[in-house]
């Protein structure tokens, strides 16, 4: 499926289009963002919940770290009690794993990871791991052997999906960049006064391309000439000095702002509404709550089929495709319960579930789907990646 990427660097918003519809949004706003690395100061330790609050420079809210996320701090000691691992006023190197929501501060981890184009460096990790989306066994063996060969001693490596069919030189260059970044963070941590921000993806264009660019992209539009220049530089660097074939890189010059011209703002407003209409007259209702998100499917004014069974099956199939898109677009995470229209036929149930599985494969957050429950509900979980659209 051909894709377009629209980058509004001025607003730090990007959108990925597929089949003329927005599939995903990238928004980098707020004082604390996922993957930010901080040198923090422990404010207080709470043994009752095996956690601690860490000052990372926000006067209103401290970060929260659980004993299970201490990483290297825990590995160095034999004790598992948090009071023996952390103490007030202790300096700790932490990374934001969940952005602040409501009254809650950011969730922190000591297991720092640094994402690159082809690899993720885990300074406190172990071994070599490969993306499950790399399915070709020959390619998996090649990438695993290369990763084992180049992996820095005492660290871990995750090979990303984007490394598939990429030359060794480009992958090694990506690793060297990540190592230099880690060395810079360590050096700054030894000389700076806590609390302090040590590492962030400041280049929004690079972040969008790193996470969203693939061979399916045939057009990228940026809102500045500088953005266009950096897009070309990054793609050329990743291509071994050659610009990618079949990709149009354009500077938005229309009088209407880029987010209005490509209807990104309109799509965001629509995504904040509970109701989403389906092509054939049905609709879905998406209701987020504190504990989970509930999705209800309704046939509405569907008139395309002559029998009730066909109406239900068609509506549920359209809903499965749209729900998968809405999960990415709204960045809904946690527990999700979907109430499809009841289907008496087991064959129809399996057809809808099979289609839903297929659509969820495009989701980088790796949703884990369960089968139909006894009440006819589909239950799944989706990994949190940044704030959802309601929080933003």
Mean pLDDT for the chain overall: 87
Residue reference for tokens 């092509």: 279
- Nearest CA-CA partner of 323 in 276, 253, 259: 276
Tell me the pLDDT band of 94, cut-offs 50, 70 and 90: very high
Residue at token pair 């180049």: 150
pLDDT at 363: 83
At 155 the pLDDT is 93
Position 327 scores a pLDDT of 93
Confidence class for position 76, pLDDT limits 50, 70, 90: low
Q: What is the pTM of this model?
A: 0.78
What is the pairing mode between strands 378-382 and 368-372? antiparallel
Tell me, what's the pLDDT at 123? Answer: 93
154 pLDDT above the threshold of 70: yes
Mean pLDDT of 235-263: 86
Pairing of strands 128-130, 156-159: parallel
Using pLDDT thresholds of 50, 70 and 90, give the confidence band for residue 384.
confident
**C-alpha span between 133 and 58 (Å, rounded):** 38
> What is residue 67's predicted lDDT score, i.e. its pLDDT?
87
Q: Map residue 260 onto helix, strand or coil.
A: helix
Report which listed range, 148-162, 201-215, 236-250, is most confident. Answer: 148-162
Provide CB contacts within 8 A for 361, sequence distance 6+. Answer: 133
The C-alpha angle 111, 116, 117, rounded to 5 degrees, equals 150
Average pLDDT of 159-173?
90
pLDDT at 77 over 80: no
Q: What is the pLDDT of residue 287?
A: 95
Q: How much is the average pLDDT of 83-101?
A: 87
Q: Is the confidence at residue 78, as pLDDT, over 60?
A: no
> What is the predicted pLDDT for the residue at 21?
85
């Amino acid at each position: 499926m051909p894709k377009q990427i629209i980058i509004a660097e001025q607003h730090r918003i990007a959108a990925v289009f597929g089949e003329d519809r927005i599939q995903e949004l990238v928004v980098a706003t707020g004082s604390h963002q996922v993957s930010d690395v901080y040198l923090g100061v422990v404010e207080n330790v709470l043994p009752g919940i095996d956690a601690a609050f860490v000052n990372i420079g926000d006067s209103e809210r401290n970060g929260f770290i659980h004993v299970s996320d201490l990483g290297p701090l825990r590995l160095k000691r034999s004790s598992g009690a948090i009071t023996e691992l952390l103490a007030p006023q202790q300096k700790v190197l932490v990374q934001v794993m969940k952005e602040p929501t409501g009254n809650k501060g950011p969730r922190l981890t000591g297991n720092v990871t640094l994402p690159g184009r082809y690899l993720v460096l885990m300074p406190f990790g172990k071994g070599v791991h490969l993306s499950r989306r790399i399915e070709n066994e020959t390619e998996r063996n090649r990438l695993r052997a290369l990763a084992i060969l180049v992996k820095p001693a005492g660290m871990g490596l995750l090979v990303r999906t984007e490394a598939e069919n990429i030359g060794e030189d480009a992958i090694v260059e990506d690793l060297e960049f990540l190592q230099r970044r880690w060395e810079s963070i360590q050096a700054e941590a030894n000389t700076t006064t806590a609390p302090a921000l040590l590492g962030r993806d400041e280049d929004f264009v690079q972040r969008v391309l790193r996470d969203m660019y693939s061979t399916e992209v045939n057009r990228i539009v940026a809102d500045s000439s500088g953005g266009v220049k950096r897009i070309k530089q990054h793609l050329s660097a990743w291509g071994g000095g050659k610009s990618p074939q079949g990709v149009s890189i354009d500077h938005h010059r229309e009088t209407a702002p880029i987010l209005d011209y490509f209807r990104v703002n309109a799509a965001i407003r629509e995504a904040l509404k509970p109701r989403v209409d389906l092509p054939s007259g049905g609709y879905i209702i998406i209701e987020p709550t504190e504990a989970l998100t509930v999705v209800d499917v309704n046939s509405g004014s569907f008139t395309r089929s002559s029998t009730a069974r066909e109406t239900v099956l068609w509506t549920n199939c359209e809903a499965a495709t749209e729900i998968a898109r809405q999960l990415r677009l709204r960045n809904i995470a946690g527990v999700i319960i979907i109430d499809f229209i009841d289907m008496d036929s087991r064959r129809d149930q399996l057809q809808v579930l099979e289609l839903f599985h297929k659509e969820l494969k495009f989701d980088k957050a790796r949703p884990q789907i369960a089968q139909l429950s006894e009440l006819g509900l589909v239950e799944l979980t989706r990994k949190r990646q940044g704030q959802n659209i309601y929080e933003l």
